[in-house]
Structure 1
Amino acid sequence: MLEKHLKATGGKVFTRFPPEPNGYLHIGHAKAMFINFGLAKERGGCCYLRYDDTNPEAEKKEYIDHIEEIVRWMGWEPFKITYASDYFQDLYELAVELIRRGHAYVDHQTPEEIKEYREKRMNSPWRDRPIEESLKLFDDMKRGIIEEGKATLRMKQDMQSDNYNMHDLIAYRIKFTPHPHAGDAGCIYPSYDYEHCTVDSIENVTHSLCTLEFETRRASYYWLLDALSLFQPYVWEYSRLNVTNTVMSKRKLNRLVKEKRVDGWDDPRLMTLSGLRRRGVTSTSINAFVRGIGITRSDSSMINVDRLEYHIREELNKTAPRTMVVLHPLKVVITNLEVGSVMDLNAKKWPDAPLDDASSYYKVPFSNVVYIENSDFRMKDSKDYYGLAPGKSVLLRYAFPIKCTDVILGDDKETVLEIRAEYDPSKKTKPKGVLHWVSEHSPGVDPLKVEVRLFDKLFLSENPAELDDWLGDLNPESKMVIPGAYAVPSLKNAAVGDRFQFERLGYFVVDKDSSSEKLVFNRTITLRDSYGKVGK
């Protein structure tokens, strides 16, 4: 058996990344990819992308296409793309052989009865039925003669074992459901417990790597391969990736999507890989995060999301060009600058570029009307405040110092409508506060208007999955949409997926909802943790 295996593999390491196509991949799958594809790459071996597609009721072509696309986005190239459904005929023939060897039987218990008997370690009344009878009934199951739910094929394992996963697991069940990949694949489908290990063996996988919740299934894995006299891969389990303030159960993610509590599988607040990508997170920063946390067998740890955010900032700080956007614009009229005059100033684009490198700058217009953040102005000054206030000066970044000379209030005598200021063209004034700003593009023409979406943690608790009312823990302020932000004109040609650092506000990416009429930006992450709350 080993000789045949080595002939097929050439002595190379063979692994597989085996997702079920019943939802979108999340950050936990990034770790599984890193381990399976990474081990094969490190050892000069091969890694399959294999769909464990044995449950047609939960699977969709949409999920199949997404998985292949996101695996490649994560930087991995499969040796081959295969499906468990590719082997349905082989698996059926192996099941027939299992019955012939006396290791499987057709059972007529209901799901509730199976559960009760397994918990009480009681044999099914049909466990010792004749082999020929089980063969005939299994054929009837395959041909659709038996109704759905009226029979299953169960493995004859060890009902007295202390391991619940040895209590006669189901190998096949009847489902009159078309398959998203195989089409009309018949009326019976193999279970995960039956299919997973047999396909590992058929594909000559050398190392079957999975998360620790499958450790108790290792006995069943080897029992079945031994019962069928098949090659046995080496099985090793590692801790799953748990990240704070999110859920990663596909069942919970599916519910969030179906109940429209989020905006689809790629909602930027989710820890799905498509959600992270839409938020502007790069695959390289995700892989750096996975590499940084390491691979252990300790399954009790919860990784703080701050560790992921560290790697995101590390990369974007080096790669994202700087620009200026004002989220909540407050008009400032510079009274000592001639109306209609516009100066083009050089704003620095890259953080570490040489000062004499022209490509490290971009032009920003400066006119007598500029806009600052509403939160950067107060009517009353204080020592620990570095923004603008009546009689106080601040520096407009890349431009000039300005001093507030007057404030125009609304009818309520509280709402600030407009600020009047004078600028210092000599730049002799040296204020402590430095503000980002955006100017009119030309006299009477507002700056580029963009939509900005700010995101915070989706859940308030670090571990919402442990809560009975986990949906009640959703953060009501996890998303804020700002439809009327102002941006510098150089952003008008930004394309979907382009990333920027908005000075003082964080890192942003152009969202797929953008159009020629309106640019939409998602905040990937704040500049530092102290800016972590939505709206800051």
Structure 2
Amino acid sequence: MSEISNNFLYEAIDEDIASGKVKADEIHTRFPPEPNGYLHIGHCKAMIIDFGTARKYGGKCNLRMDDTNPAKEDTEYVDAIKEDIKWLGFDWEDRFYYGSDYFEKDYELAVGLIKKGLAYVCELTPEQFRTPEYAGNTTTPAVSPWRDRPIEESLDLFERMKNGEFPEGKYTLRAKIDLASGNFCMRDPVIYRIKYVEHHRQGTKWCIFPMYDFAHPIQDALEGITHSLCSLEYVIHRPLYNWVIENVDLDYKPCPPRQIEFARLNMTHTVMSKRYLRALVENGVVDGWDDPRMPTLCGLRRRGYTAASILDFIERIGVSTSNSLVDIRLLESCIREELNMKAARRICVQKPLKVVIDNYPEDKVEYFSVSNNPNDPEAGTREVPFTRELYIDAEDFAEVPPPKFFRMKPDGEVRLMGAYIVKCVSIEKNEDGSVKEIHCTADLEAGNGNPLDGRKIKGTIHWLSAKYAEDTTLVLYSHLFTLENVADIPEGKTYEDYMDPNSALRIEGAKIEPALANAEAGERFQFVRSGYFVKDTKNPNTFNRIVSLKDGFKA
């Protein structure tokens, strides 16, 4: 899947094609992330819409780094964004651009607006902009004492702004549109400001930078974009987008770009704001941008999510014009369904408890054939060693069992998965009263089949040979935030008040079967009766839980 089927965006584009405005193979979109952080799953929705739309019509999609705001931008993020896009299976071919590629053209077009009397240099400070005296309100217009500044004076000041003669905040360049507009975005918006910050590509060449609302439509036009697809918060900015397109001196081939908005992705138990995600990283709350609890694509990848599962998730939620909160369990079900069919089965004992089979020879090693994946016959089988001393999970034994407990208990029988039926005959304890080891006898005549006398064995548990088991560390990840709608924080509370202290539960000393000893970083498995896990890409001999085996969620 590389596109989202049957959505209103396609209907709008089909109308443009039918009207003769543009041909199908001329459809040209762009994916314009800002390189000030790592892409998260919300960006993934936009990416799939942009690249998928172009692919559907046989058109093109550009990758453009929106680097017009130099404050937080970095080449590190550029490289990471490229990696994430390729991981999801999209290709910008030779159409890779930076917004900063157009700084000269942006400046030239801004000068053109001044000459037309459509822009002026203003001296209102950012603080004054926010006061009722100058900002106005819904019933009174905004005010700028410099709106009628002579064109030649604005041209002179704008050039001097470019030359670095003034401090930050001294002057801005504003578009001259309508100070009484009911849409505050049209009340003579700032289109250039002074900012003395080194740019990650341009260095200190520029000290004035175009605002997004001015630069973005120009970039689209220069690249021949036909449809500028963006999230709903830009609906009120669309009139300004169109104003720029209509008033700057550019040729539009094959047609002027059209902005269309869609609802962004919001997900339960998840923060999507890059500002807050950055704070989590910088404050050491998480282990970097690729922490498996983060919604970043690199975090999801390290968690064990596949590109296919993320694409499936975006396809299922679809595209709409109304914001909603998507249950994160839908994403979890997508990876669970995929791994149920594809992941190799392996045995892991999280909390090892020793079991001794008293009637089994001490030096004997027996091998039982176990399926690698019952859903995939071609996955074959593997041999699992069986010895006198074993490990079972401590959760599978109860000295005083509750009702309907069919696992190991005193004088009770249970099947060791794929091997013998055993009966608990005695228990050894530590000085503190905890269980040290369990002694059992095995039904050696039945082997790994059914009892010869026809008795029913209700419980089956997994196990490992104590001699051949390997040590490992598990990390059981869960939601970083306990609050379902993290955007709906009660007054007086912060994100930190709703962080789950057990969202990364480490289990040291877990045991794994020998077949896992050489697992590759990033390789995914189903740990039988435990969940789906992935070999961590950073920490050796560590497996991260991707998702549990089952969940009651229904899409």
TM bin (shorter chain): over 0.9
Which structure 2 segments of 5+ residues have no match? 1-15
* Residue aligning to 2:6: none
- Assess if the C-alpha contact under 8 Å between 1:163 and 1:216 holds in 2: yes
1:342-381 matches, cutoff 5 A: 342-354=365-377, 360-381=380-401
Q: 2:481 aligns with which of 438, 456, 459?
A: 459
CA contact (8 A) 1:335 1:420 kept: yes
Q: Tell me how far apart the structure 1 counterparts of residues 25 and 222 of structure 2 sit (CA, whole Å).
A: 16
Alignment of 1:26-45 (within 5 A): 26-45=40-59
Q: Map residues 61-210 of structure 1 onto 2, 5 A cutoff.
A: 61-79=75-93, 80-116=95-131, 117-120=134-137, 121-210=141-230
Measure the CA separation in 1 of the matches of 2:116 and 2:205. Answer: 26
Contact 2:423 2:440 in 1 (8 A): yes
Aligned residue for 1:398, secondary structure, equals coil
Using the size of structure 1 for normalisation, the TM-score is: 0.93
Query: What TM-score does the superposition give when structure 2 sets the normalisation length?
Result: 0.90
Q: Which residue of structure 1 lines up, in the alignment, with residue 7 of structure 2?
A: none
State the partner residue of 2:358: 335
Paired with 1:182 and 1:10, the residues of 2 have a C-alpha distance of: 36
State how 1:402-441 maps to structure 2 within 5 Å.
402-413=422-433, 415-427=434-446, 428=451, 430-441=456-467
- Alignment partners' CA distance in 1, 2:366 and 2:159: 84
The aligned counterpart of 1:256 is 280
In 2: Cα distance, 1:7 partner to 1:226 partner:
16
Is the Cα contact below 8 Å between 2:30 and 2:228 reproduced in 1?
yes
Deviates more, 1:65-74 or 1:166-175: 166-175
Aligned amino acid, residue 374 of structure 2: P
Larger mean CA deviation between 137-146 and 110-119 belongs to 110-119
Q: Which runs of 4+ in 1 moved over 3 A?
A: 6-11
Tell me, yes or no, if the aligned pair for 1:51 and 1:82 is still in contact at 8 Å: yes
Q: Does the alignment pair 1:318 with 2:355?
A: no
What is the RMSD of the two structures over their aligned residues, measured on CA atoms? 1.9
91-100 vs 6-15, which moves further? 6-15
CA distance in 2: counterparts of 1:391 and 1:409, whole angstroms: 17
Match of 1:54 in 2: 68
- Please state if 1:392 is matched with 2:416: no
The CA distance in 2 between the partners of 1:150 and 1:184, in whole Å, is: 19
Q: Is the contact between residue 365 and residue 440 of structure 1 (CA under 8 Å) also seen in structure 2? A: no
Q: Is the 8 A contact 2:120 2:149 kept in 1?
A: yes
Distance 1:185 1:13 in 2: 35
Q: Does 1:19 align with 2:19?
A: no
Contact 1:268 1:276 in 2 (8 A): yes
Structure 2 CA distance, aligned partners of 1:72 and 1:393? 53
Q: 2:260 aligns with which of 236, 242, 259?
A: 236
Contact 1:371 1:439 survives alignment (8 Å): yes
Query: Which shifted more, 174-183 or 74-83?
Result: 174-183
The equivalent of 2:550 in structure 1 is 528
Picking from 470, 477, 485, the partner of 2:510 is 485
Change (3 A) 1:530 1:236: closer
Instruction: Classify 1:276/1:10 alpha carbon distance in 2 versus 1 (closer, same or farther; 3 Å).
Output: closer
| Deviation at residue 340 of structure 1 after TM alignment | 2.1
CA distance in 2 between counterparts of 1:436 and 1:9 reads 61
2:64 alignment partner AA: R
- Partners of 2:335 and 2:273 lie apart in 1 by 23
Q: Which amino acid aligns with 1:36?
A: D
Shift of 1:408: 0.9
Indicate how the Cα distance of structure 1 residues 152 and 124 shifts in structure 2: closer, same or farther if over 3 A, else same: same
Higher alpha-carbon deviation: 222-231 or 202-211: 222-231
In the alignment, the residues of structure 1 paired with residue 406 and residue 246 of structure 2 have an alpha-carbon distance, to the nearest angstrom, of 73
Distance in 1 (CA, whole Å) between partners of 2:458 and 2:386 is 21
CA distance in 2, matches of 1:10, 1:411: 78
Are residues 183 and 25 of structure 1, via their aligned partners in 2, closer, same or farther at CA, if it must alter by over 3 Å? same
How much does 1:9 deviate?
A: 9.0
Corresponding residue of 1:246? 270
Question: Tell me, what secondary structure is at the counterpart of 1:308?
Answer: helix
AA aligned opposite 1:49: L
Q: Secondary structure at the match of 1:464?
A: coil
Q: CA deviation at 1:440?
A: 2.3
| Secondary structure of the corresponding residue to residue 354 of structure 2 | strand
Displacement of 1:155 in angstroms is: 1.2
Q: In the alignment, what sits opposite 1:534?
A: none
SS state at 1:137 partner: helix
Give, in angstroms, the shift of residue 119 of structure 1.
Answer: 4.2
**Alpha-carbon distance between aligned partners in 1 of 2:281 and 2:21, rounded to the nearest angstrom:** 46
Q: Which amino acid aligns with 2:369?
A: N
TM-fit CA distance, 1:55: 1.1
Deviation at 1:307, TM superposition (A): 1.1
Q: Does 1:298 align with 2:322?
A: yes
CA contact (8 A) 2:389 2:467 kept: no
Q: Which residue of 1 aligns with 2:331?
A: 308
- The separation in 2 between residues aligned to 1:122 and 1:298, in whole angstroms, is 31
SS at 1:529's partner residue?
Answer: coil
Deviation at 1:399, TM superposition (A): 1.2
State the distance in 2 between where 1:496 and 1:11 align. Answer: 41
Post-superposition offset of 1:270: 1.4
CA distance in 1, matches of 2:205, 2:528: 56
Q: List gaps (5 residues or longer) in structure 1.
A: 532-536
> How many percent identity over aligned positions?
45
Question: Could you tell me which amino acid in structure 1 is paired with residue 505 of structure 2?
Answer: M
User: What code does the residue aligned with 2:435 have?
Assistant: V
1:470 pairs with 492, 495, 509, which one? Answer: 495
The CA deviation at 1:174 is 1.3
Equivalent position SS for 2:326: coil
Q: How many residues align?
A: 515
